[in-house]
Amino acid sequence: MITTPVEQYVSEFADIRANLPGERLPWLESIRKQAMRSIGKNGFPHRKHEEWKYTDISNIAETFFNPLQGQAPILLWKELNGLGLDFSDSYPMLFLDGRYMPLVADTVKPPEGITIESLQQVLDTDPESVQNYLARLTDTDSNIFTDLSTAFMNDGAFIQLSKNAKMPQPIQLVFISTSQTKPVASQPRNLFILAEGAEATIVQKFISLNHASLIGDPVFIADTLESLVQELKGKEGKSTGPRLMMVASCVAQGDTKVLDLVGELGGRVVVEEVAECVRYYKRNIKTDGDLIDNLAEGYLRDREPWPFVVGVTQERSDRIFETAKEYGAQGIIWYQLKYCECYDFESHYNAGKADENGIPFIKLSSEYEQIDKGTVRTRIEAFLETISN
């Protein structure tokens, strides 16, 4: 019976290793297997290890991240342009969920003496050119993160410059992660080989589409949200559990434990007041009259103020309970980062207001770790029972 993430990685490797790049290369298979043996033997480090005594990785160690494989998802040029990516005056390589997606036309080639390809392509066409370099992975003491990358490496950039070769423009490596319904991990491995006198500038960018609205073109984001709304229509879940409102400073990427637990325990978060979510979309901007005034009103004057602004506690509280009433919320989950004084002060004020309005209220504080998940689960379960009764 598989019970730990380490055991899951070992099992997953056995299932997918035949589909990994270079599966017919004995030397690469040997490297991957050696990495997996190290994973199974050593597992994840913890604070009793001297090198990790000040670094808590329990959240990672307790979560199985499914290795991504296969071809990259399709991403249209319209979507790339919507992200505001600028490929002018550079040689771009785009990796979507760790897999290379060609962008440059076949007629565009790097200068003589310079090779720029995906590692997966090189493993298919000229594996001997990278064998000596990848074989070095077995010559050093590694940790589980290096071992996972070695065992499950799927793709990456292969850049090689011969003696005195010079790349005139920067090589831009862009790694885009798409939103997933479960924890996943891509394992790109970049290999840069520069001979004596060679020169190149390599720029790496990492983008998560979870927060695309912060960098994307407004029209593109609006169209994407509208498509999502249409797709979700008629797909409301079958849960009939308590309707909840969630108030939080932010929901950090990967920190979905409260939402996950509410769903597992039969509750429904039907609306939220979070720094980066519905507050930006809940009101339409008027199109008649002075557009600058309308934008200022929609984005600044008529939006929920931040809690650190002086004198807004009453206004924020009024809006929170108006929203709860509008969406029929039967309870409020107040989720905040530990030691956040602004939200901590407001939590006491709004707990009293919730009591006045007859709405059950629970305050949860966390450091965005999984270590307290059991305690949080118990408190949410008791909270939902209180509402149901």
Please check whether residue 35 is in contact with residue 152, taking contact to mean a CB–CB distance below 8 angstroms.
no
Residue 159 has pLDDT above 90, yes or no: yes
Query: To which H or E segment does residue 204 belong?
Result: strand 202-208
146-160, 183-197, 218-232: range with lowest mean pLDDT: 218-232
149-163, 241-255, 317-331: range with lowest mean pLDDT: 241-255
**What's residue 75's pLDDT?**
58
**What's residue 190's pLDDT?**
92
Q: Where are the beta strands (DSSP E) in 38-126?
A: 66-67, 91-96, 99-101, 114-118
175-179, 292-296, 360-364: range with lowest mean pLDDT: 175-179
Residue 225 exposure: Cα atoms within 13 Å on the Cβ side: 16
**What's residue 242's pLDDT?**
92
Give the model confidence (pLDDT) of 110-142 as tens digits: 889 999 999 999 999 999 999 988 887 665 567
Concatenate the DSSP letters of all residues of 2-48 into one string.
Answer: --SHHHHHHHHHHHHGGGSTTTT-HHHHHHHHHHHHHHHHH----TT
Residue 363 has pLDDT above 70, yes or no: yes
Average pLDDT over residues 265-289: 83
State how far the alpha carbon of 218 is from the alpha carbons of 176, 280, 353, 363, in Å.
19, 12, 37, 34
Helix, strand, or coil (residue 303): coil
Strands 157-161 and 171-177: unpaired
The pLDDT-based confidence of 105 (bands split at 50, 70, 90) is very low
Helix, strand, or coil (residue 295): helix
Higher pLDDT: 330 or 55? It is 330
Average pLDDT over residues 22-28: 90
73-77, 162-166, 260-264, 275-279: range with lowest mean pLDDT: 73-77
Nearest-CA neighbor of 118 among 195, 177, 34, 175?
175
Nearest-CA neighbor of 158 among 16, 12, 22?
22
**What's residue 249's pLDDT?**
82
Question: Which residues in 240-261 are b (16+ Cβ under 10 Å) and which e?
Answer: ebbbbbbbbbebeeebebbbeb
Average pLDDT over residues 61-85: 70
Q: What's the whole-model pTM score?
A: 0.62
Which long-range contacts link 13-17 to residues 24+ away (Cβ below 8 Å)? 13/151, 13/152, 16/67, 16/69
Ordered domains of the chain (ranges, CATH): 5-212 (no CATH), 240-388 (3.40.50.11900)
The pLDDT-based confidence of 80 (bands split at 50, 70, 90) is low
**What's residue 84's pLDDT?**
67
Helix, strand, or coil (residue 280): helix
The pLDDT-based confidence of 354 (bands split at 50, 70, 90) is very high
Residue 359 has pLDDT above 80, yes or no: yes
**What's residue 106's pLDDT?**
46
Helix, strand, or coil (residue 141): coil
Residue 77 has pLDDT above 60, yes or no: no
Average pLDDT over residues 317-336: 92
The mean pLDDT value of the chain amounts to: 83
Residue 383 exposure: Cα atoms within 13 Å on the Cβ side: 28
- What DSSP character marks residue 330? S
Residue 270 has pLDDT above 70, yes or no: yes
**Residue holding tokens 């550079």?**
90
Residue 157 has pLDDT above 90, yes or no: yes
**What's residue 127's pLDDT?**
92
